[in-house]
A and B are shown apart, each in its own frame.
Chain A
Amino acid sequence: MLENLVVSGFKLSLNGQPLLELDFEVEPAQVLTVMGPSGSGKSSLLAWMTGNLSPEFTAEGQIMLQGKNLTNVPNHLRNIGILFQDPLLFPHMSVGQNIAFGLGGRGNRESVIQNALEEVELSGFRNRDPEALSGGQRARVALMRALVARPDALLLDEPFSKLDKQLRESVRTLVFQRVKERGIPMVLVTHDENDAIAAGGPIITLG
C-alpha cells in the first residue's frame, strides 16, 4: 500500500560499532512496537526516522512514506510527528499557543484549536500556563499538538513511561484511539509489555 511506512536496510552503528539491523513495514492505523533494553538503539531508530540522529551514530537504510523516499529529506519536511516520554510543551507558550504552533496557516485556526482541546476534554484551557496542568493533561495537549499538524506517521518514544499506572492506561487508550481514527502508521518504542499488548500490532524485540 502507498500509505505504508517502510524502513528497509536500516543499519545503525555507534562510533563505528554495529548496533542494530532492521527492516519493517507499518500499515495505516497499525502500531508497530519495538521492544528492547536501553542502549539497544531503539530511540536512535526513531531519531533517524525523524532526521535527528545524534552525530556519534551513523546509519544507513531507506525510509519511505506515502510512496516518497524521505531518507534525504530535511527533518521538518518529512511530516513525521514524534511524542517523547516528557510532554515537552513549550514552557513559554500557553496551551492554545502550543497547539497553534503545529498548525501552520491551515484553515480556521481558532476553531481547529478549540476542537482539538474539546477532543481531549480540555475546552477551557486555551490560555492556561502548561506548567499549571496535571501530568495527564499535559500528555493530552502534547498528543493534540502532534495531531493538528496532520502528520503522515507518528513515532512514540516511551511516551507513557513517566505516567503513573492508572493514568498510563487511559492516556494509552486515548493515544491509540485518536491516532487510529486518523489512519496513520505508528511506531512505538517501549520496554513495557503492557504497551505492546495494548498496541495490538506486530512486535519487534531487540537485543
Chain B
Amino acid sequence: MILRGMAIATLVIVSALLLSGLFGVILPALGIFPVLDKTEPTFDHLRHALAIPGVYQAIGLALGTGLLATAVSCAATLFFLAYMSNSKRLSQLLNIGAPFLAVPHAAAAFGLAFMISPSGWISRIFANLLGLDRPPDLIILNDPFGFSLVLGLVIKEIPFLLLMAVAALPQTNPQQAFKLYSSLGYDHATGWLKTIGPQLYRRTRLPVFAVLCFSVSVVDVAIILGPNTPPTLSVLITRFMSSPDIAERLTGSALALVQLAVVIVSLAIWILLEKLAARLLGKWIDGGARQGGQAFAWIAALFILLSTALLTLGVISLIVWSLAGFWSYPDLLPNRLESNSWLRFGPSMLDALWPTLEIATISSLVAYLLSLLLLSGAKRILPVIYLALLLPQIVFLPGIANLMLDLGMDASIGAVIAAHLLFVLPYMVLALHGPYRGLDPRYESVAAGLGVHPFLVFVQVRLPMLIGPSLAALAIGFAVSVAQYLPTLLIGGGRVATVSTEAVALASGGDRRVLGLYGFAQTLAAVLPFGLAILLPSLIWRNRRGMRNA
C-alpha cells in the first residue's frame, strides 16, 4: 500500500511538472508573465511571433524534416526486419545495436558532419579517385532544405527503432507465420511484410510516435546539421528562450505554443500516412503476389549498412580530428597525430565533463530507484510516464524555465538533475519493463512459502536476478542524461555547463579539433557504461550458469 502510494505520487509529480511546463509556456504566450509585470491577456505576442521573417519556412522545415526522418527510419527498420525474417542472428542485433543507441545525438551529428561536409572524408575519397585538389563548392552541411539534418536524425533513430521492434517481435509469433507463408509459396520478405510487419508496427507505435515528436522538435542536431536562415522552429525558440533579454521569452513562449501545434499537426499527418500505407498494403495482400518484397528488403539492408557505417566512421573521425596535426585536402589522413588539441582544450573539456558525469550518475541512480517503485507499485497507470517521451522538450522546458523565473528559483545543478530525470526515467522504465514483468512469479511464491518477508524476497531474489537488465537500464539512463542538451541549457540558465551544451555552443566556431575532442568525450561517457553493463554480469555470475543469459 505504501509502495503504491509512493508510485502514484511519483507519477503525479511527473505529470504535474509536464502540465506546469505547458501552462508556463501558454500563459506567457498569451501575455501573462508576472516577472515582467504583465498580467493582461493579449494575442500580440503570438501575432508578433508569426510575423518574424522566415517563421513559416521554419515551421515547414520542422514538419518536413521531422516527417521525412521518421518515415525513412520507420521504412528502413521494417524492410530490414523483413530482410532478416526468421534469421537466428536477429537476437544478436540487441547486443550489437545497444552501443549505437548510446552514441549521443550531438556527437553523432558532429561525426556525420565530418563525413559529408565538402572537405569531409567522403569527399576526400572521391577527390583521390578523381584527382581533385580542392573541395567541391557545394552546400552540403546546413543545406537550406534540411537533408543533412534528416540524415543525422535517421542514423540515430534506426538503432532505436530496431531495438524496440526486435524486443516486441516475439509477441507476433514469427516462427509460426514463417512456416505458414513459406508453405503458401511466399518469398521470405514478402511473406514477412504481409503477416508480421503490420502486427509488429502496431506494437511499436509508441516508440514511432516518440521518434516523430522528437524529430519535429529536435534542437541540438538541428543546430549542428540543420539550415541557418531560417533554422527549424525549435532552434528559433531556443534562441529567444536563451536570450539575456527576458522580454524575448514572450516571443519564445508564443513560438513554443506554435511548436506544440506543429507536433500535433505532424501526428495527424502521420496517422493519415499510416492509413494510406494500410490501404496500399491491403491492396498488395488482396493481390496475392508471392514475390515483390525482396527487392525493398535488399535496399533497406544496404541502407542500414550504409547508415551504420556513417555513424561508426563518424565517431572514428571525431577521434582522428581531435588528434590531427596538419591535415590538408584531399589527404585521407592527417600528416601526423599529435596531442596538441587535447593538451590545449582538454582542461576546459574536463571542466564540463565532471558536471556531466555528476548529473548522469545521480539522475540515473535516482531514476533506477523510481523505476523499481513504479514497476512494483503502479501497474495500470504506468503509461502516464511515457507522456514525457511524446511531449516535446522544446514545448514544456521553456515553460518550466519561465515558472522558475516567476517563482524566483535559482538555476542550480539540482534543478538540472530534476529536469534530466523527466527524460531518464521513462527510458529506464521502458528498458526495465519487460524483464521485470518477465520474471517467473513462482520464484516469489516459493520464497513466500519459505516464510521470507516480501521486502527480503525483493532484495534477495528479484533484484539479484535482475542485475543484468538493471545494469543495462542504468547504462541507458546514463547515456540519455549525457546526451541531454536542452534541459541543461534552459533549466541550468546558462550556469550549468556540460559536454553537450559546450559542444553545441562551439559548433558555430567550426574548429574540428575541438569539436572532435568534445564529441569523442561525450561518446565515451555514454558508451563506456554500456560496455560495463555487458561485461559485469558475466563476471558476477561466472559460477552461475543459470544467470548467464538472463
Option from B448, B467, B546 in Cβ contact (under 8 Å) with A75: B448
Q: State whether A101 touches B449 (Cβ < 8 A).
A: no
Residues of A within 8 Å of B, CB-based: how many?
Answer: 31
Option from A74, A82, A90, A91 in Cβ contact (under 8 Å) with B449: A82
Q: Which residue from chain A places its CB closest to the CB of B441 in the assembled complex?
A: A52
A151 cross-chain contacts in B, Cβ below 8 A: 449, 451
B445, B450, B460, B550 interface centre (most CB from chain A within 10 Å): B450
Which residue of A78, A90, A149 has the most chain B CB atoms within 10 A of its CB atom?
A90
Are A52 and B445 in contact (CB-based, < 8 A)? yes
B451 close to A130 (CB less than 8 A): no
Instruction: Choose from A76, A82, A132 the contact partner of B452 (Cβ within 8 Å).
Output: A76
**Interface presence of A198 (CB below 8 A):** no
In the assembled complex, the Cα of A79 lies from the Cα of B452 at a distance in Å of 10
Q: Which residues of A contact B464 (CB under 8 A)?
A: 92
At the interface, yes or no: A102 with Cβ under 8 Å from chain B?
Answer: yes
Nearest CB in chain A: distance from B475 CB, A: 20
A77 to B450, CA, bound (A): 9
Q: Is A129's CB under 8 angstroms from B544's CB?
A: yes
Total contacting residues, chain B, CB less than 8 A: 28
Q: How far is the CA of A101 from the CA of B444 in the complex (A)?
A: 12
The reply on A64 being an interface residue by CB < 8 A is: no
Q: How far is the CB of B123 from chain A (nearest CB, A)?
A: 53
Q: Does B132 contact A (CB under 8 A)?
A: no
Q: Which B436-455 residues have a C-beta within 8 angstroms of A?
A: 440-454
A102 touches B445 (CB 8 A): no
In Å, the complex CA distance between A146 and B447 comes to 9
Of all chain A residues, the one with the shortest Cβ separation from B454 is A76
Shortest distance between the CB of B447 and any CB in chain A (Å) = 7
Complex: chain B residue closest to A89, CB-CB: B546
Given contacts A91-B465, A101-B452, A101-B460, contact A129 B446 (CB under 8 A): no
Q: How far apart are the CA atoms of A76 and B461 in the complex, in Å?
A: 14
Answer whether residue A136 sits at the interface, using C-beta atoms and an 8 A cutoff: no
- A84 at interface by CB-CB < 8 Å: yes
Q: Which of A77, A80, A131 has a CB less than 8 Å from the CB of B544?
A: A131
Minimal Cβ-Cβ distance residue in B for A157: B442
With A84-B442, A90-B465, A92-B544: A50-B450 Cβ-Cβ less than 8 Å: no
Confirm or deny: A39 has a beta carbon within 8 angstroms of a beta carbon on chain B.
no
Q: Are B547 and A88 in contact (CB-based, < 8 A)? A: no
Residues in chain A near residue B446, CB distance under 8 A: 82, 84, 88, 145-146
Instruction: Please name all residues of chain A whose beta carbon is closer than 8 Å to the beta carbon of B541 when the two chains form the complex.
Output: 92
Q: Please, what's the 1-or-0 string for B530-550, where 1 marks a CB less than 8 Å from any CB in chain A?
A: 000000000001011111001
CB–CB B448/A51 < 8 A: yes
A112, CB-defined interface residue at 8 Å: no
**Chain A 52-80 near chain B by CB (<8 Å), digits 1 or 0:** 10000000000000000000001111111
Closest A residue to B466 by beta carbon equals A92
Instruction: Give a binary string over A90-107; 1 marks a CB under 8 Å from any B CB, 0 the rest.
Output: 111000000001101000
A162 CB, min distance to chain B CBs, angstroms: 13
Other-chain residue from A90, A129, A146 in contact with B545 (beta carbon distance below 8 A): A129
A41 interface residue per 8 A CB criterion? no
Q: Which residues of B contact A20 (CB under 8 A)?
A: none
Majority secondary structure, B binding face: helix
The answer on a CB contact under 8 Å between A82 and B546 is no
Contact: B445 with A82, CB < 8 Å? yes
With the chains together, A81 CA to B448 CA distance in Å? 8
Residue of chain A at shortest CB distance from B543: A129
Q: Does A86 sit within 8 A of B, measured CB to CB?
A: yes
Closest B-chain residue to A82, C-beta based? B449
Query: Is A101 a contact of B450 with CB atoms below 8 Å?
Result: yes
Residue of B nearest to A151 (CB): B449
Return the chain A residue nearest B546 by Cβ: A91
Which of A75, A132, A155 gathers most chain B CB within 10 Å?
Answer: A75
Chain A nearest Cβ from B387, distance in angstroms: 26
A76 pairs with B451, CB closer than 8 A: yes
Partner of B450, one of A86, A92, A145: A145
Contact status of A77 and B451, CB under 8 A, knowing A90-B443, A92-B465: yes
Report if A47 contacts B (CB, 8 A): yes
Q: How far is the CB of A201 from chain B (nearest CB, A)?
A: 21
Contacts A76-B454, A129-B544 given: A88-B443 contact, CB under 8 Å?
yes
A95 to chain B, nearest CB (A): 11
Contacts of A145 in B (CB 8 A): 446, 450
Interface code B507-550, partner A: CB below 8 Å = 1, 0 otherwise?
A: 00000000000000000000000000000000001011111001
Taking A76-B454, A84-B442, A86-B442 as contacts, is the C-beta distance between A92 and B449 under 8 angstroms? no
For residue B457, give the distance in angstroms from its CB to the closest CB of chain A: 8
Least CB distance, B450 to chain A, in whole angstroms: 4
CB distance from B94 to the nearest CB of A (A): 21
Nearest Cβ distance between residue A30 and chain B, in whole angstroms? 19
A76→B444 CA distance, assembly (Å)? 10
Seen from chain B, the residues whose Cβ lies within 8 Å of a Cβ on chain A are 440-454, 457, 460-461, 464-465, 467, 541, 543-547, 550
A–B Cβ pairs within 8 angstroms, 23 of them: A47-B445, A52-B445, A74-B454, A75-B445, A75-B448, A75-B449, A76-B447, A76-B452, A82-B449, A86-B442, A88-B446, A90-B443, A91-B547, A91-B550, A92-B547, A102-B452, A104-B452, A129-B543, A130-B546, A131-B544, A146-B449, A149-B450, A151-B449
A interface list, Cβ under 8 A from B = 47, 50-52, 74-82, 84, 86, 88, 90-92, 101-102, 104, 129-132, 145-146, 149, 151, 155
- Of all A-B residue pairs in the complex, the 9 with the closest CB atoms, nearest first, are A91-B546, A102-B450, A131-B545, A131-B546, A75-B448, A149-B450, A82-B449, A76-B448, A81-B449
A81-B449, A146-B446 provided; 17 other pairs, C-beta below 8 A? A75-B448, A75-B449, A76-B452, A76-B454, A82-B445, A82-B446, A84-B446, A86-B442, A88-B440, A90-B465, A91-B547, A91-B550, A92-B544, A104-B451, A132-B545, A149-B449, A155-B449
